[in-house]
């Protein structure tokens, strides 16, 4: 057998083996009540909360709604699980109430900045999740809300520091 054929067969065998369920990463979901959710600690208008749920929560919370069919294909599921872990390290709406005021203010400012640049939701995510697209008005509303929250928190921090 030619060397090229052996390599091809070896690659196919490895790809088949990694499809076994034992190699599928755990899903980003929990049955626990979202006691530390952003809406529990901050005033989030319902329209903004719904936009955040639809466009951000799959990656930036402990509750990914539905996993697409391609999640069951390795190494795609590994990439998606890593992406979700990294997104949650950066910003986790399910744990937002645990952030100290300084960190919360910084996160609100980063939300504003990322949305102003239209960096979020990721274009690669939107390719497969049309329902997560934000309208210009949605962007404007969330940016305005994030700025308002940043201003409120920094004003509280400043007043505490002046005492």
What's the CA gap between 51 and 49, in Å, rounded?
A: 5
pTM of the model: 0.83
Q: What are the domain boundaries of the chain? A: 25-162
Per-state percent for the chain, helix, strand, coil, to nearest 5: 65, 0, 35
The model's confidence at residue 29, banded by pLDDT at 50, 70 and 90, is: confident
Q: Over 90: is that where the pLDDT of 12 sits?
A: no
Mean pLDDT, the chain, whole residue set: 89
Tally of CB atoms within 10 A around 55: 23
Supply 163's token pair: 């005492």
Q: Which residues contact 39 (CB under 8 A, 6 or more apart)?
A: 49
């Amino acid at each position: 057998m030619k060397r090229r054929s052996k390599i091809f067969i070896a690659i196919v065998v490895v790809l088949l083996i990694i499809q076994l369920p034992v190699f599928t990463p755990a899903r980003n979901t929990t049955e626990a009540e979202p006691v530390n959710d952003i809406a529990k600690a901050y005033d989030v208008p319902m329209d903004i909360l719904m936009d955040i749920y639809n466009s951000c929560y799959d990656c930036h919370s402990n509750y990914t709604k539905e996993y697409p069919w391609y999640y069951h294909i390795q190494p795609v599921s590994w990439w998606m699980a890593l992406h979700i872990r990294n997104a949650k390290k950066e910003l986790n709406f399910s744990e937002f109430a645990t952030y100290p005021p300084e960190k919360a203010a910084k996160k609100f400012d980063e939300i504003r900045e990322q949305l102003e640049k239209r960096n979020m939701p990721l274009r690669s995510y939107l390719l497969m999740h049309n329902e997560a697209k934000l309208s210009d008005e949605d962007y404007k509303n969330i940016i305005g809300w994030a700025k308002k929250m940043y201003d409120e928190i920094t004003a509280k921090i400043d007043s505490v520091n002046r005492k």
